[in-house]
Amino acid sequence: MSTNAGQPTSRNLPPRPSRVGPTVTAIVAGAVVLAVTMSLSIDWDDLGEIPGKVLHYMRLMFEAPNWENFPRALFETWRSISMAWIGAILCVLVSIPLGMLAAQGVGPTWLRILLRGVFSVIRAVPEVIIALILLTITGLTPFTGALALGIAGIGTQAKWVYETIESVQDGSPEAVRAAGGNTAQITRWALWPAAAPALMSFALYRFEINIRTSAVLGLVGAGGIGSMLANYTNFREWDTVGMLLIVVVLATMLIDAISGAIRQRITAGPIGTGAAFKTRKHDVVRLR
């Protein structure tokens, strides 16, 4: 009997995978990045001065902030939050039904392809560009910013919707369809109950995104705290700019904390009676 029985031979080993493809891809990607960097004509000597300049302007803004316009800053922040909320509502009301129709197994193929193409086009256009286009129609009003946020968010929000719908299909749509249900009934009784928590969570996340974007839209004249930032930055009133940035950061963090707690509550579901009973029992024992 051969002593090499059971040992792998060179003919049993799989061939070594070729590294030519990944190597060529890495070389091409590196060449593209290098070419793009060289075409920007960057003066690398200025990079060393950037930290000092950043510290200088941060000292101008935050060393002694000017709180004289704090009440107006709160009012403009409230306008930005209202603008973000209205934009989120408009976005969700449009994106949920359209996103469901774009999901696999819900809408017809031709409609699904058309809607997904429209969503891709909307995602390719920044909110600022949409706001600049709307400025010629609605003027310099907060409604322009809300409308821009609502339209710009449809592309991403609808993508989240149809991806969520496709991920929760576990046989319920087929059961409703087998019972004679139409598309509306399948959506109502099979898809919506399973996808509603995730969709509501995404809707709140859209509101959080709009809070940040509304400040940017204010720079182009859409109103809100962004308009104040643009005005005082142009006049180089850095102490007031520092106060505005503090208000924006604190308001954004507060909204994120509240929205995050609500989203966690939605996705976690209601607290079970057993868990609540255990918690109360533990508290009673600890008090004794």
Confidence of residue 279 (pLDDT cuts 50, 70, 90): very low
For residue 153, give its domain range: 65-269
Report the mean per-residue pLDDT for the chain.
Answer: 79
pLDDT digits (tens, 9 = 90+) for 38-92: 777 777 777 777 888 889 888 888 888 888 888 888 998 898 888 888 988 999 8
The answer as to whether 252 is a domain residue is yes
Residue with tokens 């017809």: 108
pLDDT at 281 over 80: no
The answer as to whether 79 is a domain residue is yes
pLDDT digits (tens, 9 = 90+) for 180-189: 767 777 777 7
Name the pTM for this structure: 0.71
CATH of the domain at 128: 1.10.3720.10
User: What is the count of structural domains for the chain?
Assistant: 1
Instruction: Cite the DSSP H helix spans in 102-191.
Output: 109-124, 127-138, 142-167, 172-178, 183-186
The answer as to whether 151 is a domain residue is yes
pLDDT digits (tens, 9 = 90+) for 77-88: 898 888 888 988
Better-scored residue on pLDDT, 260 or 254: 254
The answer as to whether 182 is a domain residue is yes
CB neighbour class for 219 (10 Å; exposed up to 12, middle 13-18, buried from 19): middle
